Amino acid sequence: MSTLTATAEEPRTAPARPAYRVTGRRVLASEWAKLWSLRSTWITLGLGLLFLVAFGVISASRYKSGIDSGHIDRDFADSTAVSLSLFGTNFAQLALGVLGVLVTAGEYSTGMIRSTLAAVPRRLPVLWSKATVFGLVALVVGTVGGFVAFLIGSGIVSGTPAAMSLSHAGVLRSLLGAGLYLGLVGVIGAALGALLRSVAGGISVLVASLMLIPGLMSLLPSSWQDDISPYLPSNAGQSMFALTHDATSLSPGAGLLVFLCWTALTLAGAAYRLVRSDV
C-alpha cells in the first residue's frame, strides 16, 4: 500500500523591487541629460559663443583700423579693450535666452512635460532644476566667451589708447559680470518658457524686454527716461559689466540687485502657474 506524503511547497516571494526616490540630485541629473540630448542645445550654445567672440574681435579690429587710418568713428572714440571685446554680448544674450525658452516651453509643445511631471509630482523641483542647469551652462559659456574675446581683442588693440590687460582695475569684474549676466538671461528665458508655455510667446517677450522696450524709452520725456531706463532689465544688466559708470546708470552692485529682482519675479510667476495650472 502506497502512501502519499504531501510536501509543503515553499511560498514563492516576488523579488524585491529597488526603491527609487525622487531627490533633488536625481531631478538635476535628469534635466542635465535632457539638455544635452537635444541637437538644438549644441547649435544654439555654439552660436552664442560665436556671437560673443566674433563680434568682439570684429569690434576690436574696426577700432584698430580706425586708429591706424586716423579716422575713427565717434562711437569708438572712448572705447576700451573691455567694451570692444564685450560688444557681442547683446547678440549672445538672444541666443542663450532663446535656448532657455526652448528648454522649458519645448516640453509643453511636444507634450513631454506630462511625463516629466508624472515622474516628479511635486512640480517645483522640475522648474528649479531646469533653471539651475541651464543657468550654470549659460554662465560658463558666457564667461569663457568673454575671456576669449578679451584676450584676442586686447591683443588686437595693443599699443592703442584702448589697450588694457587683465591686471587693470575693473577688468576681471567686467568679464565675470558679463558671464553672470548671460547666465541670468538664460534663467529668465527658462522661466518665461515655463510661464507662457509657448516658444513663440516666450521668445517674443524676451526680445521685447531686452531690446525693444529700451529703444522705445526714447519716446518718453527725458526726465522719465532718467528715472526709468536704469531699472530696465537690459540696462541694469549692462551696468553689471560696464567698466565705467555715470549719473544715468547704476553701479555694478545695484545693477546686479535689480537684475536679480527681475529674475526672481519671472521665476515666481513661472512657479505660480506651474503649481496652479494643469499641463
Predicted pLDDT of residue 8: 46
Four-point Cα dihedral 125, 126, 128, 134, nearest 10 = 150
- Which one is predicted more confidently, 3 or 221? 221
Give the Å distances, CA to CA, from 251 to 93, 150, 166, 243, 256: 21, 22, 21, 10, 8
18 vs 87, residue with greater confidence: 87
Please say whether the beta carbons of 141 and 51 come within 8 A: no
Query: What is the DSSP-derived secondary structure letter of residue 244?
Result: -
Nearest-angstrom CA–CA distance, 277 and 89: 35
DSSP H helical ranges for 111-123? 112-119
CA angle (28 as vertex; 23, 32 as ends), nearest 5:
150
pLDDT of residue 21: 77
On the question of pLDDT at 10 being above 70, the answer is: no
Distance of CA 165 to the CA centre of its chain: 27
Q: Is 218 left (phi over 0), alpha (psi -120 to 50) or beta?
A: alpha
E strand or H helix at 19: none
Output the pTM of the full model: 0.89
Mean residue pLDDT of the chain comes to 88
Per residue in 208-252, pLDDT (tens digit) is 999 998 888 878 787 778 788 899 999 999 999 998 877 778 999
Lowest mean pLDDT among 13-17, 107-111, 191-195, 224-228: 13-17
